[in-house]
Chain A
Amino acid sequence: AQSVSQHNHHVILSEAASLELGCNYSYGGTVNLFWYVQYPGQHLQLLLKYFSGDPLVKGIKGFEAEFIKSKFSFNLRKPSVQWSDTAEYFCAVRRGFGNEKLTFGTGTRLTIIP
Chain B
Amino acid sequence: EAGVVQSPRYKIIEKKQPVAFWCNPISGHNTLYWYLQNLGQGPELLIRYENEEAVDDSQLPKDRFSAERLKGVDSTLKIQPAELGDSAVYLCASSPPGDTQYFGPGTRLTVL
Contact = CB atoms under 8 A, between A and B. Distances in A.
Interface residues of A, number: 21
B100 A49 contact: yes
Given A44-B91, A107-B42, A98 B100 contact: no
Contacts, number: 50
Interface stretch (B19-27, B43-51, B73-81): B43-51
A106 interface: yes
B28 interface: no
Contacts of A46: 100, 102
B97 interface: yes
A104 B43 CA distance: 6
A16 B101 CA distance: 31
Contact of A104 (B42, B48, B98, B105): B42
Contacts of A4: 42
Interface of B: 3, 31, 33, 35, 40-45, 48, 50, 56, 91, 95, 97-98, 100-106
